[in-house]
Protein backbone atom coordinates (compact mmCIF):
# COMPACT_ATOMS: atom_id res chain seq x y z
CA UNK A 1 0.00 0.00 0.00
CA UNK A 2 2.88 2.32 -0.82
CA UNK A 3 3.01 4.28 -4.07
CA UNK A 4 5.92 6.27 -5.50
CA UNK A 5 5.04 9.35 -7.56
CA UNK A 6 7.93 10.78 -9.56
CA UNK A 7 7.81 14.53 -10.15
CA UNK A 8 10.39 16.67 -11.94
CA UNK A 9 11.94 17.70 -8.62
CA UNK A 10 11.99 14.24 -7.04
CA UNK A 11 10.11 11.25 -5.66
CA UNK A 12 7.04 11.43 -3.43
CA UNK A 13 6.16 8.44 -1.23
CA UNK A 14 2.45 7.93 -0.60
CA UNK A 15 1.08 5.59 2.07
CA UNK A 16 -2.39 4.37 1.13
CA UNK A 17 -5.09 3.78 3.74
CA UNK A 18 -7.27 0.77 2.82
CA UNK A 19 -8.52 0.79 6.42
CA UNK A 20 -10.27 4.11 5.67
CA UNK A 21 -11.31 3.77 2.04
CA UNK A 22 -10.80 0.26 0.64
CA UNK A 23 -12.57 0.89 -2.68
CA UNK A 24 -10.67 4.14 -3.36
CA UNK A 25 -7.34 2.49 -2.52
CA UNK A 26 -8.15 -0.48 -4.75
CA UNK A 27 -9.04 1.87 -7.64
CA UNK A 28 -5.89 3.98 -7.13
CA UNK A 29 -3.69 0.87 -7.09
CA UNK A 30 -5.42 -0.54 -10.20
CA UNK A 31 -4.99 2.68 -12.18
CA UNK A 32 -1.41 3.11 -10.94
CA UNK A 33 -0.54 -0.47 -11.97
CA UNK A 34 -2.00 0.21 -15.44
CA UNK A 35 0.20 3.30 -15.86
CA UNK A 36 -2.93 5.49 -16.03
CA UNK A 37 -1.38 8.38 -14.07
CA UNK A 38 1.94 8.50 -15.95
CA UNK A 39 2.26 11.84 -17.75
CA UNK A 40 -0.96 13.37 -16.38
CA UNK A 41 -1.01 17.10 -15.60
CA UNK A 42 -1.63 18.80 -12.29
CA UNK A 43 -4.53 20.83 -13.71
CA UNK A 44 -5.59 22.68 -10.55
CA UNK A 45 -2.99 23.82 -8.03
CA UNK A 46 -4.09 26.40 -5.46
CA UNK A 47 -1.37 27.84 -3.17
CA UNK A 48 -2.10 27.18 0.50
CA UNK A 49 -4.77 24.62 -0.43
CA UNK A 50 -4.07 21.66 -2.72
CA UNK A 51 -2.68 20.18 -5.97
CA UNK A 52 -5.13 18.17 -8.11
CA UNK A 53 -4.42 15.64 -10.88
CA UNK A 54 -5.70 12.35 -12.27
CA UNK A 55 -7.68 13.66 -15.26
CA UNK A 56 -6.59 12.25 -18.63
CA UNK A 57 -8.20 15.28 -20.33
CA UNK A 58 -6.16 17.69 -18.19
CA UNK A 59 -9.22 19.90 -17.63
CA UNK A 60 -10.77 18.55 -14.44
CA UNK A 61 -13.73 17.07 -16.34
CA UNK A 62 -12.32 13.61 -17.14
CA UNK A 63 -11.84 10.28 -15.48
CA UNK A 64 -11.04 6.65 -16.16
CA UNK A 65 -13.30 4.23 -18.02
CA UNK A 66 -14.15 2.55 -14.71
CA UNK A 67 -17.41 3.37 -12.88
CA UNK A 68 -17.55 6.16 -10.29
CA UNK A 69 -17.05 5.26 -6.63
CA UNK A 70 -19.32 5.75 -3.64
CA UNK A 71 -17.89 8.11 -1.01
CA UNK A 72 -16.01 6.47 1.88
CA UNK A 73 -15.93 9.18 4.53
CA UNK A 74 -13.95 8.78 7.75
CA UNK A 75 -13.10 10.84 10.79
CA UNK A 76 -9.52 11.36 9.58
CA UNK A 77 -8.87 15.09 9.09
CA UNK A 78 -7.28 16.73 6.06
CA UNK A 79 -3.79 17.75 7.12
CA UNK A 80 -0.67 18.63 5.15
CA UNK A 81 0.01 15.83 2.65
CA UNK A 82 -3.41 14.16 2.82
CA UNK A 83 -4.65 12.43 -0.35
CA UNK A 84 -8.29 13.08 -1.08
CA UNK A 85 -10.59 11.82 -3.82
CA UNK A 86 -11.77 14.60 -6.14
CA UNK A 87 -15.32 14.45 -7.48
CA UNK A 88 -17.62 16.17 -9.93
CA UNK A 89 -19.44 19.12 -8.33
CA UNK A 90 -21.47 18.47 -5.21
CA UNK A 91 -22.25 14.80 -5.92
CA UNK A 92 -20.29 12.96 -3.25
CA UNK A 93 -20.48 9.67 -5.17
CA UNK A 94 -18.65 10.73 -8.34
CA UNK A 95 -15.02 10.05 -7.41
CA UNK A 96 -13.23 8.22 -10.21
CA UNK A 97 -9.53 8.76 -10.99
CA UNK A 98 -8.87 12.33 -9.88
CA UNK A 99 -7.21 13.03 -6.56
CA UNK A 100 -5.63 15.92 -4.68
CA UNK A 101 -2.88 16.41 -2.13
CA UNK A 102 -3.41 19.12 0.48
CA UNK A 103 -0.62 21.62 1.16
CA UNK A 104 -1.85 22.41 4.66
CA UNK A 105 -4.51 21.75 7.32
CA UNK A 106 -7.86 22.06 5.48
CA UNK A 107 -10.65 21.37 7.99
CA UNK A 108 -13.44 22.52 5.64
CA UNK A 109 -12.88 19.27 3.67
CA UNK A 110 -13.25 17.00 6.71
CA UNK A 111 -16.13 14.55 6.38
CA UNK A 112 -16.99 15.90 2.93
CA UNK A 113 -14.27 14.25 0.82
CA UNK A 114 -12.80 10.73 0.98
CA UNK A 115 -9.34 10.47 2.58
CA UNK A 116 -7.43 7.51 1.14
CA UNK A 117 -3.75 8.18 1.78
CA UNK A 118 -0.98 10.49 2.92
CA UNK A 119 2.38 11.69 1.64
CA UNK A 120 4.98 10.25 4.03
CA UNK A 121 8.09 11.47 2.22
CA UNK A 122 8.85 14.05 -0.47
CA UNK A 123 6.19 16.65 0.35
CA UNK A 124 8.77 19.32 -0.56
CA UNK A 125 8.40 18.14 -4.17
CA UNK A 126 4.61 18.52 -4.03
CA UNK A 127 5.18 22.09 -2.76
CA UNK A 128 7.09 22.86 -5.98
CA UNK A 129 4.27 21.87 -8.39
CA UNK A 130 3.40 24.77 -10.73
CA UNK A 131 0.45 26.79 -9.38
CA UNK A 132 -2.68 27.91 -11.23
CA UNK A 133 -6.21 26.95 -12.28
CA UNK A 134 -4.90 25.71 -14.67
CA UNK A 135 -1.19 26.44 -14.34
CA UNK A 136 0.24 28.23 -17.42
CA UNK A 137 2.92 25.50 -17.67
CA UNK A 138 1.49 22.57 -15.70
CA UNK A 139 3.73 20.00 -14.09
CA UNK A 140 3.02 16.32 -14.69
CA UNK A 141 3.35 13.01 -12.93
CA UNK A 142 6.42 11.61 -14.68
CA UNK A 143 5.71 8.12 -13.42
CA UNK A 144 3.74 6.51 -10.62
CA UNK A 145 4.11 2.93 -9.43
CA UNK A 146 3.49 0.63 -6.49
CA UNK A 147 6.57 0.43 -4.26
CA UNK A 148 6.45 -3.39 -4.49
CA UNK A 149 6.74 -3.06 -8.28
CA UNK A 150 9.51 -0.46 -8.32
CA UNK A 151 11.48 -0.43 -11.57
Q: What is the pTM of this model?
A: 0.96
Handedness of CA 11, 85, 112, 75 (dihedral sign): negative
pLDDT in tens, 71-117: 999 999 999 999 999 998 889 999 999 999 999 999 999 999 999 99
Cα 70 to Cα 99: distance, rounded to the nearest angstrom = 14
Would you place residue 151 in the very low, low, confident or very high pLDDT band (cuts 50, 70, 90)? low
Asked if 21 and 115 touch (Cβ cutoff 8 Å), the reply is yes
Write down the mean pLDDT value for the chain: 96
Please determine, for residue 39, whether its predicted confidence score (pLDDT) is greater than 90. yes
Amino acid sequence: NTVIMELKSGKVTIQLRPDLAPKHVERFKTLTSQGFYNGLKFHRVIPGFMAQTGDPLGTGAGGSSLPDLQAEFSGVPFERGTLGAARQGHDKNTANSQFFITFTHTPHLNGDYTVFGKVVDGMQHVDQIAKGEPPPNPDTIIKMYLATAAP
